């Protein structure tokens, strides 16, 4: 990119939904999903499973590289004007949709009009229509290979918005993806795999797009790089029960699946099974409601932070697979420098001293958690309860259904919560997940005005050195304020049969390109 961007279903019923190879030479992969996808409409009705499937089908103008840097994808270059208000995308030549139609700038205009129509209900519309400050004022196509997008203000995050997986990667679709009445039919994208069918509650079948043109690049690089498809077809099979998944892997009925971290040791010792445990940018944390009479006391929050042996806590919660990190900047980010590695210091004696100086008078604290796999919420809560009680803080754990906990999180109705944040690759977006004005957004955790001003600045400034200074300053402030305790970045355990080669999941999602399956 130019100038560094200047400026459960029982397993017994699975067999009928698995595809049968059309010839002896065809290679097919069977991948277990913990839950069904929500739709086939990118960035609209979605969750992580939905994103993980659809990003094998659709591509956007840009995409994330492995370290969280945004790079060209359907664009071959991106040029940003000196004032940061004009983005010029030059499109790659020879790219076609899965129905054979050529991809041109006219398709970008059609997609942008559709995404920004409120009726589409695109998740990321507020990030480009002025609701969340930034507004795209116009989009032009001066020729078939050029798209020009105008912003109302400079932004360090505009390209990140286009690349975000929860935005469906702003995937470019053929207009034939819609029915004649304008309703949704199915995604016809430019990605390495195309949708065959979706049997709701059972399976999603994909096949290799023979006309796929990979972007330039070598090896795996997030959602860019070499994306050549090798497997002829893949079926994602819905198998919610972890024990059923494990049995299917061991019997060979499933090729690839997510696994519980508690099953990793057993699976590693099983014959014919390979296990991967890549970390990602999700964050597991303990949240404090600083509007609560007790938790608004900084000494009380600091007492909790120093009472926790985070190394031991993380080891237990992750079955020994993760390392502690108190940073909002994920480990593979180029912004994860030595300052980001500074941590809360475990000191039970200091915790008792801080507790004596605080407003805490022996009240019982309620700690909310859930048991939704693979979240470590309940495990974190149990260890934290034990460590806090050791210094004299009474803690009662309340385990909730995930939907109920999420409702309480969004409304700010809690004292303390064991919670997980999904991946945000740019540090400004990661900090933005938990910083903000609580009077307007009750789910926000940290409302320190100085921190909010720094996050706002990081959303505008594009210079990497200046952004590094901001993120380092935010990290030091977060350790001092302790509005929450980020414990560690998440990981997703994956297991696959030895007949599978070159399977490389990323950010908790399966990438089908590059993967091969032996007959």
| pLDDT score of 26 | 72
Cα distance between residue 459 and residue 156, in whole Å: 5
Q: What local confidence, expressed as pLDDT, does residue 217 receive? A: 81
What's the pLDDT at 374? 77
The upper half-sphere exposure of residue 131, i.e. CA atoms within 13 Å in the direction of its Cβ, equals 9
What are the pLDDT tens digits along the chain (519 aa)? Answer: 443 343 333 333 343 333 433 444 579 999 999 899 999 999 999 988 999 999 999 999 999 999 999 999 999 999 999 999 999 999 999 999 999 999 999 999 999 999 999 999 999 999 999 998 899 999 999 999 999 999 999 999 999 999 999 999 999 999 999 999 999 999 999 999 999 999 999 999 999 999 999 998 888 999 999 999 999 999 999 999 989 999 999 999 999 999 999 999 999 999 999 999 999 999 999 999 999 999 999 999 999 999 999 999 999 999 999 999 999 999 999 999 999 999 999 999 999 999 999 999 999 999 999 988 778 999 999 999 999 999 999 999 999 998 899 999 999 999 999 999 989 999 999 999 999 999 999 999 999 999 999 999 999 999 999 999 999 999 999 999 999 999 999 999 999 999 999 999 999 999 999 999 987
In this prediction, residue 321 carries a pLDDT of 94
435/447 Cα distance (integer angstroms):
6
| H-only helix segments in 270-397 | 298-307, 310-317, 348-357, 377-390
The four Cα atoms 452, 455, 456, 462 give a dihedral, to 10 degrees, of 170
pTM of the model as a whole: 0.87
Cα–Cα distances in angstroms (integers) from residue 37 to residues 42, 186, 187, 365, 515, in the given order: 11, 13, 14, 37, 22
């Amino acid at each position: 990119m130019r100038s560094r961007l200047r400026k459960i279903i029982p397993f017994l019923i699975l067999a009928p939904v698995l595809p049968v190879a059309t010839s002896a030479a065809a290679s097919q992969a069977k991948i277990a999903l913990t839950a069904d996808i929500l739709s086939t409409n990118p960035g609209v009705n979605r969750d992580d499973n939905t994103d993980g499937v659809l990003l094998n089908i659709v591509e956007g103008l840009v995409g994330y590289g492995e370290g969280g840097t945004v790079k060209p994808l359907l664009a071959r270059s991106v040029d940003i004007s000196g004032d940061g208000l004009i983005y010029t995308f030059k499109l790659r030549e020879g790219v076609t949709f899965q129905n054979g139609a050529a991809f041109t700038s006219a398709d970008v205009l059609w997609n942008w009009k559709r995404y920004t129509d409120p009726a589409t209900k695109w998740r990321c519309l507020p990030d480009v229509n002025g609701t969340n400050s930034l507004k795209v004022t116009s989009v032009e196509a001066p020729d078939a290979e050029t798209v020009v997008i105008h912003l109302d203000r400079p932004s360090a995050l505009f390209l990140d918005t286009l690349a975000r997986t929860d935005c469906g990667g702003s995937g470019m679709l053929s207009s034939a993806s819609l029915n004649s009445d304008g309703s949704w039919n199915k995604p016809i994208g430019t990605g390495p795999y195309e949708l065959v069918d979706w049997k709701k509650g059972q399976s999603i079948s994909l096949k290799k797009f023979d006309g796929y043109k990979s972007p330039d690049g070598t090896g795996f690089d997030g959602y860019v790089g070499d994306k050549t498809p090798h497997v002829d077809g893949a079926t994602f099979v819905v198998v919610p029960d972890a024990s059923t998944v494990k049995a299917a892997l061991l019997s060979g009925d499933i090729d690839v699946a997510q696994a519980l971290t508690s099953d990793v040791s057993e699976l590693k010792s099983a014959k014919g099974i390979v296990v991967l445990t890549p970390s990602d940018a999700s964050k597991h944390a303990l949240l404090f409601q600083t509007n609560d009479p007790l938790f608004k006391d900084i000494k009380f929050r600091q007492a909790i932070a120093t009472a926790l042996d985070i190394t031991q806590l993380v080891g237990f919660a992750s079955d020994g697979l993760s390392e502690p990190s108190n940073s909002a900047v994920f480990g593979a980010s180029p912004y994860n420098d030595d300052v980001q590695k500074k941590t809360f210091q475990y000191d039970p004696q200091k915790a008792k001293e801080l507790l004596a100086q605080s407003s805490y008078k022996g009240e019982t604290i309620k700690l909310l958690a859930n048991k939704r796999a693979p979240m470590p919420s309940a495990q974190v809560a149990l260890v934290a309860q034990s460590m806090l009680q050791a210094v004299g803080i009474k803690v009662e754990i309340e385990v909730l259904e995930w939907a109920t906990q999420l409702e309480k999180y969004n409304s700010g109705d809690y004292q303390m919560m064991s919670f997980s944040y999904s991946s945000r690759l740019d540090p400004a977006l990661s900090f933005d997940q938990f910083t903000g004005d609580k009077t307007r957004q009750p789910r926000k955790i940290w409302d320190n005005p100085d921190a909010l001003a720094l996050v706002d600045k990081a959303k505008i400034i594009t210079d990497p050195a200046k952004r590094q200074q901001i993120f380092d300053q935010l990290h030091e402030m977060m350790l001092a304020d302790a509005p929450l305790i980020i414990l560690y970045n998440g990981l997703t355990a994956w297991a696959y049969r030895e007949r599978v080669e070159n399977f490389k999941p990323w950010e908790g999602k399966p990438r089908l390109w590059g993967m091969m399956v032996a007959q």
